[in-house]
Structure 1
Amino acid sequence: MRKLDLPPVWLFGAVVVAWTQASWYSFDLSFGGAWSDFLGGLLVGGGILLTLLAIYEMRRHGTTVIPHKTPSQLVQSGIFSRSRNPIYLGDVLILAGLILRFDAVVSLPLIPVFVWILEKRFVIPEEGRMRREFRADWGRYEQKTRRWA
């Protein structure tokens, strides 16, 4: 079961809920056309870019991207100099963008729920492992780099 407890699985579930809501339960609500498609596309593209940049940087440092494992390196370069959690931020942007693209107005509350799930299931436990593993280096990194920037 732990193999399925991964952010992409949670993202997929939220996307399925949003798509289902938009397809079957729209309640005649709409974001209003072309601007939401455009903005949604930008958010999805930005989320994918953030995720790819983060994966590249972690691979470059030879460390894991699996959230339940302790990384062998504290990556502070590249996109990680701007955000401690660029992959999770990318996931949130992808979800928000797809909600706009699907015109799933009623699914907007999924975004803060998804952020809460990511924080409780992944971010906080990961940061605890990083704090224990990298001690002072983590403390300095945590002070200078925001979590959700």
Structure 2
Amino acid sequence: MAGITGTILLCLSLFLVLSAAITLRNGGMTVLPPKAPRHLITRGPFRYTRNPIYLGYIMTLAAFGLLAADAWFFIAAIAAAVVMTFASIHREEIHLLARFGSEFERYCRRTPRWL
């Protein structure tokens, strides 16, 4: 059963990351933008989570944990979520707040950081 659940979770995580990348590209952005964003992307998977790519990475680690039956993947997923939150996401949010102000605040109120 863990193998089936892990496979489903892995497929969902890949779909989430690819969907987010396509949404960014269709919005004139890249996954690793070389310069400041011109506008907020709030459609596609960004309607449900402010960080679909990071969430996809965490889901992938959890999926590997299920597939390999190895708890270390779950520990790595939790550690990665904490590190991403404090090392990347907080800084990105400060930048987006400075750049987009109340538009970003409204987005944060209606869209959770993770899920």
Among the aligned pairs, what percent are the same residue?
29
What's the counterpart of residue 104 of structure 1? 70
Provide the rounded CA distance (Å) in 1 between the counterparts of 2:87 and 2:33: 9
Q: Choose the corresponding residue for 1:87, options 49, 53, 56.
A: 53
| 1:43 shift after superposition | 1.0
Alpha-carbon spacing, 1:40–1:75, altered in 2? closer, same or farther (3 Å): same
**Paired residue type of 1:54:** A
What stretches of structure 1 of length at least 5 have no aligned partner? 1-34
Deviations 1:78-130 (A, max 9, x none): 11111101111111110000111112134432221111011112111111111
- DSSP 3-state at the match of 1:109: helix
- DSSP 3-state at the match of 2:63: helix
**Paired residue type of 1:37:** G
What stretches of structure 2 of length at least 5 have no aligned partner? none
Bigger-Rg structure (1/2)? 1
Pairwise CA RMSD of aligned residues?
Answer: 1.6
Alpha-carbon spacing, 1:107–1:51, altered in 2? closer, same or farther (3 Å): closer
What's the counterpart of residue 72 of structure 1? 38
Q: Is the 8 A contact 2:45 2:52 kept in 1?
A: yes
What's the counterpart of residue 18 of structure 1? none
What's the counterpart of residue 100 of structure 2? 134
Alpha-carbon spacing, 1:77–1:54, altered in 2? closer, same or farther (3 Å): same
**Paired residue type of 1:133:** R
Task: Say if 2:31 is the partner of 1:60.
Answer: no
User: TM-score, normalization: structure 2?
Assistant: 0.92
| 1:70 shift after superposition | 3.1
